[in-house]
Amino acid sequence: MNVLQVIPQLDAGGAERTTLEVAEAVVAAGGRALVVSEGGRLEAELEAVGGELVRLPVASKNPWTVWRNARRIAAIGKADAIEIIHARSRAPAWSARWAAGQSGAHFITTYHGTYNGKTGLKRWYNAVMARGELVIANSQFIADHIRTRHPFAAGRIRVIPRGVDLDSFDPQQVEPQRVAALAAGWGLDWPTDRMIALYPARLTGWKGQRETLTALGQLKAEGLEVPLTLMAGDAQGRETYLAELNALIARHGLDADVRIVGHCSDMPAAFAMADLALTPSVEPEAFGRTAAEAGAMHIPVIAADHGGAREVVVPGETGWRVEPGNPAALAAAIREAMTMTPARRSEMGERAAQHVRTQFSTRALQAATLRVYEEVLSSQP
CA distance 355 to 78: 43
Q: Tell me how crowded residue 175 is: count the other CB atoms within 10 A of its CB.
A: 11
Residue type, 192: T
Q: Is 253 helix (H, G, I), strand (E, B) or coil?
A: coil
Among 107, 84, 106, which residue's Cα sits nearest to residue 94? 107
pTM of the model: 0.86
Q: What is the predicted pLDDT for the residue at 381?
A: 54
DSSP annotation string for 178-227? HHHHHHHHTT--SS-SS-EEEEES-S-GGG-HHHHHHHHHHHHHTT----
Please report which confidence band the pLDDT of residue 380 belongs to, taking 50, 70 and 90 as the band edges: low
**Which of 34-38, 142-146, 191-195, 196-200 comes out lowest in average pLDDT?**
191-195
Instruction: Phi first, then psi: give them for residue 213, nearest 5 degrees.
Output: -65, -35
Please report which confidence band the pLDDT of residue 12 belongs to, taking 50, 70 and 90 as the band edges: confident
Q: Is 33 helix (H, G, I), strand (E, B) or coil?
A: strand
Please report which confidence band the pLDDT of residue 191 belongs to, taking 50, 70 and 90 as the band edges: confident
Residue type, 151: P
Topology alike, domains 2-163+362-377 and 171-359:
yes
Domain at 171-359: CATH code: 3.40.50.2000
Q: What is the CA radius of gyration of the chain?
A: 21
What class has domain 2-163+362-377?
alpha beta
Per-residue model confidence as pLDDT tens digits over 106-149: 999 999 888 877 888 888 999 999 999 999 999 999 999 999 99
DSSP annotation of 41: T
C-alpha angle 47-52-54 in degrees, rounded to nearest 5: 125
Domain extents for the chain?
Answer: 2-163+362-377, 171-359
